[in-house]
Structure 1
Amino acid sequence: MFEKSVSHLGFLQFETLAGDINANLALVKKNLTDLAPPPGSLIALPEMWATGFVYEQLHQLSEKTPDILLEIEDLAQSHGIVLAGSLPVKEGESLYNKLFFSGLGSPDSHWIAKQQLFAFWQEDKWFSAGNSPSPIDLNGKDLVAGFVCFDLRFPETVRSQCCQGAGIILMSAEWPLARIEQWKVLLQARAIENQAFVVASNACGRWDGLKMGGHSLIIAPDGEILGEAGEAEESVVLPINKEVQKELRQRFNSVAPSPWAVEDADKVLALKDLVEIVAVRKQTGQKIVFTNGCFDILHAGHVDYLQKTRRQGDFLVLGLNDDQSIRSIKGPDRPVNNEQQRARVLAALGCVDAVVLFGEDTPLNLITSICPDVLVKGADWEESEIVGAKEVKADGGRVERIAFVSDTSTTGLIDQIKTMEKQE
């Protein structure tokens, strides 16, 4: 168990041998022995360091991940350090790129899954994205924010973890030489904006003909580069002074302030305004997701469904039945909450980006007006029954069916309330 406070940061930078787990493990052991990091060190490894990105083999190679983690756990504990690098993990039919922290006494319990998949390298076709993570608690003293390669371009990936107390940021990457200057600038930015130490391990050598960038880094909370590798294989470990970080945050703190700056009511839009906003979002390359419903009494099943729906793309538009259309569907006693109240509550959900009311029998006009990339309905609907499915697919989009959490419904809640009233 890692009990020391982190006193040193370091990285192992090397060329990952595609598909050769034993050779990569041997390389880590050799480099670690040569480096001889002091106990209390946190050492970063490159992305997919044990397997490389051999997509066709990853499902098979991921079966070895538990054994790799056991070996790396023993290795880390023998040195009194923490080792962190990403590995492929299979969960059901899904494959994840998970950043594991080893040396903490439980080989497979401390991890953060890569959140932003790099479509340019077809990662989105092979991997599933992780959820918003919490920082890793190493010892009750040090919280570490973790992120993987392409996550670097999304500041919120790390910011949320630093706002939860992380003072160290660890990156595991396979970043190409062609964009190495961006690598440096972005890592320094993450250090400065979060007033945190950064340790980043990048691969070197080549992958599928592409030259990796190396230039692994250790950065101080003010952005000063404390240590940097070149383009070849290299290992570095350096002491860090946490008093510098403490003094910096005391002088002016850019991490703690977190004012609520969003006016949720602004998410409730007229169709005309929504069409303009969606057009701009599409121009930036965002995938528009659409779903619809009554959402009369918001419950956990709704929230679960909407969160899963939002994960299908980048901007979720929720078509909300107005009061009149609900009465025509569910009878004169509904809705319980009027359309303004329902829209306001739904707009307050972080997973919902826009709410638009509609009064027609179906949302077809909404769907054809915004032309979503992804149309989502409950799994109880057959695709042939889903309004707009044909139009979305004809426009190059896709249709997803997502199951609601069982035993939760507005009707069930209403019946429960009526039963309770009778008992009183």
Structure 2
Amino acid sequence: MTANHVDAGDGLRVALVQFSPDAGNVEDNVERALSELEAAADAGADLVAFPELFDVGYFAFDSYARQAEGLGGPRLAAFADAARENDVWVLAGTVVEDLASTAASSVDVPTPADEGLANTAVVFSPRGDRELVYRKHHLFGYDSAEAELLVAGERRPTVDVAGFTLAVSTCYDLRFPELYREYLDAGADLVLVPSAWPYPRVEHWKTLPSTRAVENLSYVATINGAGTVGGTDLVGRSTAYDPWGTPVATTDDRETTVFADLDPERVRSVRAEFPALEDRRL
């Protein structure tokens, strides 16, 4: 995997790991992801982020139930350990969560149901502590396997990271601006978007996150998969957008890691220069 370095100022250096999972091969995918995490940390990343269902592959629907684990399982524990060992924040992309296992464990995170599967993002601090759990709120429609197999999440948490208030949304969530307004009202100024966005909807993939950034005068950083997963080609193009909606770091559809230096002062200066949010009428 190559690395694409683009400086966007001082602040939080984010590594967007554009990863191509081997469908259903969780053990290999996790091993490779942990290697990319270490490489990104060595390159100076403060936060390392992975795509949607990088562990199993989004389109490997037949593997979801077999490969699911609770929040206290060994897969996420490995990323907690890696965060601590490498002294970085980690967004463990999303993984398939077994809600029954989580509910039955000592993990103190409410579940939206006592059983079923969720598409779950977990953020770990450099201490290896679980700081945020976000379960995909909008499940893909059109009679998709996702809507049939998964339980939608209800919690929309945030966490403070290096001067930012960070939130997470997942892939299809990009089409629902009201979620991003909720995050804005919660103080979020950086939203990470792990995704498995496929061809041919390239223009949607470029327009929607840029629009969410413009609407909320916030950073939005997308982390997409790459390659072919379950017979479906992913568009890649992981990108960090600044509060003007301008791409400050991006790439093509190949496996790579994109680095961007994000500055919380940039959000404050843009909102002061163009205070459109003060004109909202609720």
Give the TM-score normalised by structure 1.
Answer: 0.56
Q: Does 1:57 align with 2:63?
A: yes
- CA distance in 2 between counterparts of 1:11 and 1:151 reads 18
Mapping for residues 131-150 of structure 1, pairs under 5 Å: 131-138=154-161, 141-150=163-172
Q: 1:408 maps to which residue? A: none
Cα distance, 1:105 vs structure 2: 4.0
Query: Residues 127 and 77 from structure 1, CA distance in 2 versus in 1: closer, same or farther, beyond 3 angstroms?
Result: same
Contact 1:175–1:212, Cα closer than 8 Å, also in 2: yes
Which of 47, 52, 58 aligns to 2:52? It is 47
Q: Does 1:230 align with 2:273?
A: no
Which of 68, 72, 79 aligns to 1:72? It is 79
Query: Residues 251 and 114 from structure 1, CA distance in 2 versus in 1: closer, same or farther, beyond 3 angstroms?
Result: same
**Count, aligned residues:** 254
- CA distance in 2 between counterparts of 1:114 and 1:256 reads 29
- CA distance in 1 between counterparts of 2:264 and 2:131 reads 27
- CA distance in 1 between counterparts of 2:65 and 2:278 reads 41
- CA deviation profile, 1:174-229 (whole Å, cap 9, x unmatched): 00021111111111111111111121110011122111110000111111111111
Radius of gyration: which is bigger? 1
Contact 1:10–1:199, Cα closer than 8 Å, also in 2: no
- CA deviation profile, 1:335-373 (whole Å, cap 9, x unmatched): xxxxxxxxxxxxxxxxxxxxxxxxxxxxxxxxxxxxxxx
Q: CA RMSD in A?
A: 2.1
Cα distance, 1:241 vs structure 2: 2.8
Q: Any unmatched runs of 5+ in structure 1? A: 261-424
Name whichever structure is richer in helix by fraction: 1
Mapping for residues 202-351 of structure 1, pairs under 5 Å: 202-255=224-277, 258-260=280-282
Cα distance, 1:236 vs structure 2: 1.6
Q: 1:17 maps to which residue? A: 22
Query: Residues 246 and 14 from structure 1, CA distance in 2 versus in 1: closer, same or farther, beyond 3 angstroms?
Result: same
Contact 2:80–2:130, Cα closer than 8 Å, also in 1: no
Query: Residues 149 and 97 from structure 1, CA distance in 2 versus in 1: closer, same or farther, beyond 3 angstroms?
Result: same
Q: 1:127 maps to which residue? A: 150
Contact 1:215–1:231, Cα closer than 8 Å, also in 2: yes
Q: Secondary structure at the match of 1:123?
A: helix
- CA deviation profile, 1:265-312 (whole Å, cap 9, x unmatched): xxxxxxxxxxxxxxxxxxxxxxxxxxxxxxxxxxxxxxxxxxxxxxxx
Q: Secondary structure at the match of 1:63?
A: coil
Cα distance, 1:97 vs structure 2: 0.6
Which of 156, 164, 179 aligns to 2:186? It is 164
- For CA contacts below 8 A with separation 6 or more, give which structure has more relative contact order: 2
- CA distance in 1 between counterparts of 2:279 and 2:25 reads 46
Q: 1:27 maps to which residue? A: 32
Q: 1:86 maps to which residue? A: 94
